[in-house]
Amino acid sequence: MKSKTMSGVNIFIIGDDMKKLLKLTLVFGFILCCAMAFVACGSNTQDDSVPAKKTKNSNSSSSSKSSDYPDFSFQEINGGKEYEVSASGYFNSNLEGNPSKEVVIPSKYKGKPVTAIGANAFKDRRMIIKVTIPDSVKVIEDSAFSGCSGINSVILGKATTKIGNSAFRDCKSLNSINIPKTLTYLGDYAFSNCSNMQSVIIIPNAVTNSLKRTFSGCSKLTSVTIGTGVPKIGEGAFSASGITSITIPNNVKSIEDLAFAQCAELTSVIIENEGVTHIEGSINGGAFRDCFKLKTIIFGNKLEYIGQEAFQSCSSLESLTFPASLITIGNRAFKWCSVLADIKFENCAANIGERVFEKCTKLRNIDFGDSLVRIGGYAFINCTSITEITLPASLQYLEGTSAPPFMNCNKPIIKVKRLLSPPSGWANQWNYDCGTVYWGQ
């Protein structure tokens, strides 16, 4: 570097070598600054594989993870007095050397009780094989363990009051669970499709909801006791389950659509007196539809209504006695009950709908009692074993003009008690479909 003096001012002239040195110095300084900035950013970013460090000023109301329980996330509830637990973001880590997990829910966290398992808390964690829930937990929220197909055992605490909707749905390996007496709510779909469930299920007396599809698809579930608080058996509650027999207590007033449909092993149903008034049904929705082994049913003394297709295709039913309380039998209620041989109406003022006993080909003996009101169209169509029928004087209507009730029944002999002339709906066409008609018997 050289200097010159011009008019009393020194001027420095930089040589080529100095220029190169200056450029290198600037480049090195820029790289150093970038590196320092990168390190600073990294120090503020937490690695998901390491539990978060807690600061003294952290917000206590937010969800937090504990280094003591890296698999769990805790959320304060009930004014900060208790905790709700869920799976943490680290739950799925390190599975290469530990492909299955046993989940043990802690009873306390930071000195406060853990009282709830959150909604969707462990949903679809297929690596879980066993769950142990402490006595401190009262609530299992909706879908908490839904889709945990590897779970084979669940141990509930002694204080659980709620098992939420779909809580253990699709836990296909689950074979045992203890339901505590403290339970007050057993959710819709709670154990739906637990196809390996083999426990003896006793629904506690404190449960007061209707059990919609709660045990549907539990094909190995053979025994259930219904508690004294259940007001009705909800839609599809035990459909396609393995139940072999059931006694329905008198606190149950209604059996909803599909409640026991497709229970392939069900052989016996006993409804206690003073109990069920309605057995529901709809098109493709009968309460006991397709129970192919159902041989015996006792209706109790309060039954008023049997819905559409309620017992359709119950092909092992042998006999039926309808109580005096019965008012309506819906369309196709007993269609295709192919071995049904005997029917008795205990002087009930009943209305028999359309095609109610269609293709009950073994049906031979029918006692209508003295109070029957109506027989609908094709009610006994293709009941080819009927040879004689006695109709009561109470009969007010027979569908006859276009849908004879005894069509294709090999022209049975008809006897009509005390009536000297046909009731409403009787038509000449109906006469031709039967054998001799005797009036005023």
Q: What is the pLDDT of residues 102-117, one digit of tens each?
A: 999 999 999 999 999 9
Over residues 258-266, the mean pLDDT reads 98
SS (H, E, C) the chain: CEEEEECCEEEEECCHHHHHHHHHHHHHHHHHHHHHHHHHHHCCCCCCCCCCCCCCCCCCCCCEEECCEEEEEEEEECCCCEEEEEECCCCCCCCCCCCCEEEECCCEECCEEEEEECCCCCCCCCCEEEEECCCCCCEECCCCCCCCCCCCEEECCCCCCEECCCCCCCCCCCCEECCCCCCCEECCCCCCCCCCCCCCEECCCCCCCCCCCCCCCCCCCCCEECCCCCCEECCCCCCCCCCCEEEECCCCCEECCCCCCCCCCCCEEEECCCCCCEECCCCCCCCCCCCCCCCEEECCCCCCEECCCCCCCCCCCCEEEECCCCCEECCCCCCCCCCCCEEEECCCCCEECCCCCCCCCCCCEEECCCCCCEECCCCCCCCCCCCEEEECCCCCEECCCCCCCCCCCCCCEEEECCCCCCCECCCHHHHHCCCCEEECC
Q: Which of 328, 386, 334 is nearest to 356 (CA)?
A: 334
The reported pLDDT for the residue numbered 26 is: 53
Range of lowest pLDDT (50-59, 124-133, 155-164, 414-423): 50-59
Would you say residue 83 has pLDDT above 90?
yes
Would you say residue 361 has pLDDT above 80?
yes
Cβ within 8 Å of residue 258, ≥6 positions away: 235, 236, 239, 285, 286, 287, 289
Over residues 114-134, the mean pLDDT reads 96
Give percent of the chain with pLDDT exceeding 70: 81
Range of lowest pLDDT (94-98, 300-304, 320-324, 365-369): 94-98
Range of lowest pLDDT (49-63, 159-173, 312-326): 49-63
Q: 406 with 382: CB under 8 angstroms?
A: no
CA distance 236 to 240: 9
Q: Which residue has the higher pLDDT, 436 or 81?
A: 81
The reported pLDDT for the residue numbered 267 is: 98
Q: What pLDDT band is residue 437 in, cutting at 50, 70 and 90?
A: confident
The reported pLDDT for the residue numbered 429 is: 53
Q: What pLDDT band is residue 256 in, cutting at 50, 70 and 90?
A: very high
Q: What pLDDT band is residue 367 in, cutting at 50, 70 and 90?
A: very high
Over residues 310-318, the mean pLDDT reads 98
For residue 237, what are its two tokens? 């509650």
CA distance 267 to 204: 24
Over residues 336-347, the mean pLDDT reads 97
Range of lowest pLDDT (46-50, 334-338, 359-363): 46-50
Is the model's pTM score more than 0.85? no
Q: What pLDDT band is residue 268 in, cutting at 50, 70 and 90?
A: very high
Cα pseudo-dihedral 344, 350, 355, 359, rounded to 10: 0
The reported pLDDT for the residue numbered 214 is: 98
Range of lowest pLDDT (219-228, 274-283, 392-401, 423-432): 423-432
Over residues 120-125, the mean pLDDT reads 95
Q: What pLDDT band is residue 17 in, cutting at 50, 70 and 90?
A: low
Would you say residue 28 has pLDDT above 50?
yes
The reported pLDDT for the residue numbered 59 is: 37
26-35, 136-145, 387-396 — which one is most confidently predicted on average? 136-145
Q: What pLDDT band is residue 56 in, cutting at 50, 70 and 90?
A: very low
CA distance 86 to 65: 10
The reported pLDDT for the residue numbered 432 is: 58
For residue 312, what are its two tokens? 């359709």
Would you say residue 315 has pLDDT above 80?
yes
Over residues 378-389, the mean pLDDT reads 94
Would you say residue 221 has pLDDT above 50?
yes
Cβ within 8 Å of residue 9, ≥6 positions away: none
Q: Which of 130, 134, 215 is nearest to 173 (CA)?
A: 130
Over residues 62-73, the mean pLDDT reads 70
